[in-house]
Structure 1
Amino acid sequence: MGKSDPGQGLTSPDPLVREAYLMAYDYIDYVTAQPRPPSGPAPSPASAALRHAGDELLLRFPIFFRRWPRVFRDVTEETACSTLVTILDEHFAPTRRRDLAWSAVLSTYVLAGQMALHCQSRGMNAILPQLQHCVGSYVERVICPEIRDKGGWSGFVSRFGRKPSLEGQVKKVCCWSLVILTVGIFTYYIWKKRMT
């Protein structure tokens, strides 16, 4: 696979496709950033959801990711993209593509991130932009047509986006209660002052 223009896809007139590439570029930058964890916000809600869900997946199921170094051990700069596409094609066999699950979309990006980490650990940093484009292109070709009928990336964001914690929700309720109480006291004070 030859070198590709890294900006291609990010400038697509189709917002669904642009987001697919943005997520690919951001996620691989995110997982390969040094030092870990990287600073800075995600460039979009879907990218933020991908970062969050990818981190959760790695924390909850680390054993699943231990097999990838064996699978990737013979990968070179020349074969990284073709190996990734072969694995993804097996994952998205035509019989399984009929009812695409958001978890399958997540695993596509996480697998690409694992390939990028493997390449980085082997000193193959030059291949990372090509991997970013490769996964963006794959998502454009295979996944975007499927999710277009699902309303785009909003389903991914609602499924994998960071949910407010119970503590955060309690704080929010307490703050609003305090505001309402303060307004009530202030209103009562002004009313009482007018009456006297």
Structure 2
Amino acid sequence: MAELNNTDPVVREAYQLSHDSIAYVTGRAAGPAPSAATLALRHAGDELLEKFPIFFKRWPRVFSGVTDDNACDLLVQIIDENIKGHWDRQRRQPGYPPDLPWSSVLSIYVLAGQMATYCQENGLENVLQQLPERLGGYVEEHICPVLRKKDGWVGFTERFSKKEETERKVLRVCSAVLAACSVLLLTHFLWRRMSAL
């Protein structure tokens, strides 16, 4: 957990996301999310599981040979293949600046969460101690340099934070308009009454 004390806020948040996401999916998170980015990650991960459960059913087969000794290496290998594939596709499209979509960053943490869940369910508790640091280290080395150019984790938080429901927004606006109209009518009524005296 030494990297949580890192002076670089982008790196510190990467490790905080790693530790919190693993703790959250394994039911070990104590209290509310420690930052806006971790809250956004919790929300986005839950939403993915709810909307696309079929996507998550394949991971137990992929993780079937996992042991205490190879779990972290397998996770990094899978993440690395996906990220390198993304960079390769970008290189084939000249004229575009290299970028990493927030969905790719999200997928790194969601995949690590799936690995953690698998390990917890299969008695590989030791992995849960190593996984957050290895994940944080990977993100620090391969993702944080890109994030520094994107203003850190701000975009991630904006993209994946829980959005206020449309009905609530409309209700709030209507309530505000109704309140404003009521105040105007009351003011007009009182003004006319004072004028009549």
TM-score (norm 2): 0.85
Opposite residue 20 of structure 1, the aligned amino acid is A
CA distance in 1, matches of 2:133, 2:89: 24
Out of 20, 38, 46, the position equivalent to 1:26 is 20
Give the structure 1 partner of residue 2 of structure 2: 8
Number of residues of Structure 1 aligned to a counterpart in Structure 2: 187
Distance 1:183 1:64, change over 3 A: same
Give the structure 1 partner of residue 94 of structure 2: none
Distance 1:81 1:168, change over 3 A: same
**Residue 57 of structure 1 pairs with residue 48 of structure 2:** yes
> Which shows bigger deviation, 142-151 or 87-96?
87-96
Identical residues among aligned pairs (%): 51
Secondary structure at 2:5 match in 1: coil
CA distance in 2, matches of 1:29, 1:186: 54
Give the structure 2 partner of residue 88 of structure 1: 79
1:41-120 equivalence runs, <5 A: 41-93=32-84, 95=88, 98-120=98-120
1:135-154 equivalence runs, <5 A: 135-154=135-154
Residue deviations 1:25-63 (CA, integer Å, cap 9, x gap):
1111111117xxx89532222112211211222222222
Gaps of 5+ in 1: 1-6
Distance 1:136 1:96, change over 3 A: farther
Opposite residue 8 of structure 1, the aligned amino acid is A
Residue deviations 1:105-138 (CA, integer Å, cap 9, x gap):
0100000000000010012223213111111111
CA distance in 1, matches of 2:129, 2:30: 20
Opposite residue 9 of structure 2, the aligned amino acid is P
RMSD: 2.1
1:82 Cα deviation (Å)? 1.2
CA distance in 1, matches of 2:154, 2:59: 30
CA distance in 2, matches of 1:147, 1:135: 16
CA distance in 2, matches of 1:169, 1:177: 12
Secondary structure at 1:125 match in 2: coil
1:179 Cα deviation (Å)? 2.7
Gaps of 5+ in 2: 91-97
CA distance in 1, matches of 2:193, 2:125: 72
Residue deviations 1:76-131 (CA, integer Å, cap 9, x gap):
12211111111111112153573311111010000000000001001222321311
Q: Which has the larger radius of gyration?
A: 2
CA distance in 1, matches of 2:19, 2:27: 12
